[in-house]
């Protein structure tokens, strides 16, 4: 048998997120996106949801100290080129994550860039974050974030701005920037009356609009997770923040174009759109 030569490790990304038993969103979408982007994915599990294409019927949370221990175990041994958050469930978990990230060097002024996707509810409206945790998100995680990636529903919950058009999208970006992240991405995917899906990126001085054609599909489960994970994968590979966001936008547009039906409800976007099935 031919000896195997030294193999270079791929970039590493860490997701701090909840499990979706239906496999369409959450850490399952994150890990599939990392893999499809050529990145080794590590995971700190926050909660386990009971979920299918019709909705979330419940979840259990992991102890906050177990969430923190997973982050520390991964970063102190394997390391990470970038990290992201998804479903965080509670204020106690957010508090533990903020402390662990601070300790291991994850954050906007630390070596490991930090993408905070402020997941609050599923697209069916099932809560994934206790209302009492919103303040912890705003005051503990946002000031540490390299980038925050809210959709219009999350903008309303976090800063009370109703995003209906480009002007209110800009106003939302300004209000979110005041909470302390280095960059804000206000996603426009939920503005369904617009034929073009425009996300707005803001760094405190410059607004950049990222347009993509709107895809007519009912199957958009996991879209937000997939975009934040593609951005995180690009950051783990050394991309600049604006390049990583542009990559994430292109990546999620393809994923929505390849979304597929599953179950009786809402099907998932496809994070593995560029991987062809391998004949066995």
Which structure tokens are listed for 96?
């533990």
> Do the Cβ atoms of 254 and 271 come closer than 8 Å?
no
Rounded-to-integer distance, Cα 28 and Cα 20, Å: 7
> Do the Cβ atoms of 228 and 192 come closer than 8 Å?
no
Number of neighbours of residue 120 by Cβ within 10 angstroms: 21
In angstroms, give the least distance from the CB of 167 to ligand PLP: 26
Enumerate residues 115-144 that contact ligand PLP by CB under 6 A. 119, 122-123, 128
103 vs 130, beta carbon nearer ligand PLP: 130
**Which secondary-structure segment (H or E) carries 15?**
strand 12-20
In angstroms, give the least distance from the CB of 83 to ligand PLP: 15
Instruction: Point out which span in 106-114, 167-175, 196-204, 221-229 binds ligand PLP (CB under 6 A).
Output: 221-229
Enumerate residues 84-103 that contact ligand PLP by CB under 6 A. 86-87
Residue with the shortest CB distance to ligand PLP? 26
In angstroms, give the least distance from the CB of 223 to ligand PLP: 6
Instruction: Point out which span in 17-25, 63-71, 136-144, 172-180 binds ligand PLP (CB under 6 A).
Output: 17-25
131 vs 209, beta carbon nearer ligand PLP: 131
What's the distance, CA 133 to chain centroid? 18
Q: Is 20 in the site for ligand PLP (CB under 6 A)?
A: yes
Q: Is 32 in the site for ligand PLP (CB under 6 A)?
A: no
18 vs 113, beta carbon nearer ligand PLP: 18
Q: Is 185 in the site for ligand PLP (CB under 6 A)?
A: no
**Which secondary-structure segment (H or E) carries 86?**
none
Q: What angle do CA 128, 134, 137 make, to 5 degrees?
A: 100
> Do the Cβ atoms of 88 and 98 come closer than 8 Å?
no
- Give the residue among 54, 231, 192 at the shortest CA–CA distance from 126: 54
11 vs 223, beta carbon nearer ligand PLP: 223
> 3-state DSSP call for residue 209?
strand
Write the CA distances from 178 to 75, 160, 182, integer angstroms.
Answer: 29, 13, 10
> 3-state DSSP call for residue 187?
coil
Enumerate residues 41-60 that contact ligand PLP by CB under 6 A. 49, 51
In angstroms, give the least distance from the CB of 119 to ligand PLP: 4
When binding is defined by CB under 6 A, the residue of 11, 12, 14, 26 that contacts ligand PLP is 26
Residues that bind ligand PLP (CB under 6 A): 17-18, 20, 25-26, 49, 51, 86-87, 119, 122-123, 128, 221-225
């Amino acid at each position: 048998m031919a000896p195997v030569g030294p193999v270079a490790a791929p970039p590493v990304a860490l997701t701090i997120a909840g499990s979706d038993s239906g496999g369409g969103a959450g850490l399952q979408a994150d890990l599939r996106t990392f893999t499809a982007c050529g990145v080794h994915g590590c995971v700190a599990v926050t909660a386990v949801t009971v979920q299918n294409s019709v909705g979330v019927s419940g979840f259990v949370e992991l102890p906050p100290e177990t969430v923190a221990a997973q982050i520390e175990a991964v970063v102190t041994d394997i390391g990470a080129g970038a990290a992201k958050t998804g479903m965080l469930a509670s204020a106690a978990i957010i508090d533990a994550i903020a402390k662990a990230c601070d300790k291991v060097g994850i954050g906007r002024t630390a070596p490991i860039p930090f993408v905070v996707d402020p997941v609050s509810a599923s697209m069916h409206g099932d809560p994934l974050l206790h209302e009492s945790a919103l303040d912890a998100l705003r005051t503990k995680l946002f000031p540490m974030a390299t980038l925050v990636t809210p959709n219009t529903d999350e903008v309303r919950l976090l800063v009370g701005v109703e995003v209906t058009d480009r002007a209110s999208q800009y106003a939302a970006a300004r209000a979110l920037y005041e909470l302390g992240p280095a960059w804000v991405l206000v996603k426009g995917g939920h503005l369904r009356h617009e034929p073009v899906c425009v996300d707005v990126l803001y760094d405190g001085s410059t607004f950049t609009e990222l347009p993509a054609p709107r895809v007519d599909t009912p199957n958009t489960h996991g879209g937000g997770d997939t975009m934040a994970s593609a951005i995180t994968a690009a950051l783990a590979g050394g991309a600049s923040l604006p390049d990583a966001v542009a990559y994430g936008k292109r990546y999620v547009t393809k994923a929505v174009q390849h979304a597929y039906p599953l179950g009786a409800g809402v099907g998932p976007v496809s994070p593995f759109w560029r991987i062809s099935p391998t004949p066995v």
